[in-house]
Structure 1
Amino acid sequence: MMKKTWLRAGVLATVAIAVTALGVPAAQAQAVRLSWKPTVLPLPAGASPLGHGYLNGSDGHGEYTGSFIVDDKLQVVSWRGGEPVLRGVPEGYEWAMVAGEDSAGRVYGDALDYDSDNDRSFVLDATGFHLRENPAGFRSFQVRAVNKRGDVVALLLSDDPAASAPAVWPAGATAPTILSFPPGTNNVIDIDDDGAILFSSFERDVVWKNGVSRPLADIAGFSNPHGSAIRNGIVVGWASNANASQAVRWTTPEKATPLSGSDYAIDMNVGGLTAGLAPVPGSFRGKPIAWRGTTPAGELKQPGTYTGYQPTHVSDDGTFAGIASNGALDEGGVPVIWRLTP
């Protein structure tokens, strides 16, 4: 799945941990120092050398997909076996932003025609792009996330902001199901593989399933809990106070555990591998860090000479995907993946 809400960057000193699940004998575990080695992926012909894009999704089996500037258009690009495959944009459109990819390799996102301001969601499969009609009464179906089977959660926008609504387009369905916001919420963040939805609000995010809403709990010293991703009923995200933020893992919405040494958790895969950021004193930028569950799981190394880098997605194949840049990361960058190296 994919969520991309903010971008920050940095580096992190190596963390020594004991993780027997990695196949390391217990007697040697304390001596193991883990790090995640970066690979800057090649861009397709015609791409901006600066990338100016985002690597936002994967099928969990080694394919990675995102949106990058190619021939002055924001186009869909996939990497298979480490090589780029230019997937393009829907005919008549100049902009295609990937929101996620399911386990069958179908890609989901939004397309825009600059001249007409026409905004449509799409599904991209082996046969090409398939545009979806906006539901009656709404001008836009903005894809927020997709689960592994292809259920899409989106925000429906209306000319009347008060009439905006959440929606789910189930895999294989011909039309979306329009929902109501749980009280106090105003946006959607992610969808779990069982259909549970993570909703956001200014004060406290909510997990909704089968009509029942469960707000995320506070942790000691921090309130305003917000989630970034939900998998297997577990939420990762952050909470804050007047001076700082703290990364958090909720095993249920009511049970919160801080992720030590970090201020944000960004994304999580089906096995609980989590990407996030550790604070850097005196700097707005954070350092990329990883956890397995609540255990620190090493550093994400700097890609070459790029001064800024950040994971934005954790694939079910156990890799991190993201971008790197020597400029502002909120303007995109070049595609990077990180693999574990003892």
Structure 2
Amino acid sequence: MKLKPWVRFAVPVVAALSVAVLAQPAQAANRIAWRPTILPLPPGGGSGFLTGSDGKGEYTGSFTVNGRQSVVSWRDGRPVVRGVPDGYEAALAEDENPAGVVVGTAHDYDTRISRAYTLDATGFHVKEVPAGYDYVYGVAINTRGDVLGRAMRFGGGTETDAAVLWRAEGGAPVLVPSTRETYYARDLDEDGSILFDSGDSSALWKDGVVRHLSSGPAAQSWGLAVRNGVVVGMRIYGGVEQAVRWASPTAEPVGLAGGARALSVNKVGLTAGLVPNPSGPVIVGNAIAWRATTPGEVRAPSGYSTFEASVVADDGSFAGFATNDSRDFGGVPVVWRLTP
């Protein structure tokens, strides 16, 4: 069963852009190379996405299992079906922290109800919807256990959004209403800072204080992930998508050679992203890696034309998927490891 389109969040504005065609970087012989391992699917398993890792060898994602979108984790290379919360039809995993706590969204297709959840060794824990909102989606979790979500309210023909922060120490959830500065919540840093799209740029919010990221000479830039103050993402420069890195919230952005988008960064600054597509009209191509700003090579899984590494684990591995179909619906689970 393919993922229903309403359960996946598209990149606002950016996904519709037309960009100039760039050649993929040459596969230099001296580049650091990460080599792929295709993980086995569980019985009845189909396509999906790896979206998180505990950095200790566990990888988690959302895969179709016997026709149902379910949370699946791989431990010691073997799949463990975690399933779906009781009373829901589907569950998507979005992130996992070093303690192995997963955050994501549970859906009921008939009622179109969506709820954020956490998943740990004791099972699923569905979050309450903040008062005044209709739905809430899980987005990210940091090391200490803070959880980021997006809440939505519908009424009078309009849609109202807010970021929701459930702090690890408990208490009422913190709501950050959507404004131009806090338009779309992307990720959550270790100190509780929330990375937002902010019009044609990005900003970090913490405890009511907003810090705008510089776009440098580019007209538009977006941070897509943050870790320990390092932000990675993309910018439009000269009409072309370019992967970019901010070494700190106050730093000027630095282009990442050979990349169109940077998608994920780990605790030591290892980054995963996508190269430009040389053939068009699809904007992005396959996976690439950087150590700080030095590019590395993410090798293709045998037999697959499209592959994406959207998770950088703290152990230095990458996780994602490979497919010969549209990347919109994922593919087989793949882990890339650094090997001599």
Q: Which category describes the TM-score, using the shorter chain as reference length?
A: 0.7 to 0.9
> Where in structure 1 are there 5+ consecutive unaligned residues?
17-31
CA separation of 1:34/1:251 partners in 2, compared to 1, >3 Å: closer, same or farther? closer
Aligned to 2:71: 76
1:174 Cα offset (Å)? 5.4
Aligned to 2:18: none
Aligned to 1:168: 165
Aligned to 1:228: 224
1:55 Cα offset (Å)? 0.4
CA separation of 1:174/1:109 partners in 2, compared to 1, >3 Å: closer, same or farther? farther
Aligned to 1:261: 258
CA distance in 1, matches of 2:285, 2:216: 21
Counterpart contact for 1:142–1:156, Cα < 8 Å: yes
Say which of 331, 335, 338 aligns to 2:329: 331
1:242 Cα offset (Å)? 5.7
Q: Percent identity?
A: 46
Amino acid in structure 2 at the alignment position of 1:70: V
C-alpha deviations, 1:210-245, integer Å up to 9, x for none? 32212121233x221100111111111111046211
TM-score, normalised via structure 2 length: 0.87
Say which of 123, 126, 133 aligns to 1:131: 126
1:209 Cα offset (Å)? 2.2
CA distance in 1, matches of 2:174, 2:44: 39
Aligned to 2:292: 293
Aligned to 2:274: 277
Identify the range of structure 1 (168-177 vs 128-137) with the bigger mean alpha-carbon deviation.
Answer: 168-177
Give the count of matched residue pairs: 318
Amino acid in structure 1 at the alignment position of 2:231: V
CA separation of 1:85/1:329 partners in 2, compared to 1, >3 Å: closer, same or farther? same
Counterpart contact for 1:182–1:208, Cα < 8 Å: no
Aligned to 1:66: 61
Relative contact order, higher structure (CA 8 A, sep 6+): 1
The 5-angstrom pairing of residues 192-271 of structure 1 reads 192-220=189-217, 222-241=218-237, 243-254=239-250, 255-271=252-268
Say which of 35, 38, 46 aligns to 2:36: 38
CA separation of 1:140/1:4 partners in 2, compared to 1, >3 Å: closer, same or farther? closer
Whether 2:135 is the aligned partner of 1:140: answer yes
Aligned to 2:3: none
Aligned to 2:89: 94
Question: What CA RMSD, in Å, does the superposition of the two structures yield over aligned residues?
Answer: 2.1
C-alpha deviations, 1:11-50, integer Å up to 9, x for none? 864335xxxxxxxxxxxxxxx54211100100111112xx
Tell me the secondary structure at the aligned position of residue 14 of structure 1.
coil
1:197 Cα offset (Å)? 1.0
TM-score, normalised via structure 1 length: 0.87
Aligned to 1:24: none
Tell me the secondary structure at the aligned position of residue 252 of structure 1.
coil
Say which of 303, 311, 314 aligns to 2:312: 314
1:199 Cα offset (Å)? 0.6
Counterpart contact for 1:223–1:241, Cα < 8 Å: yes
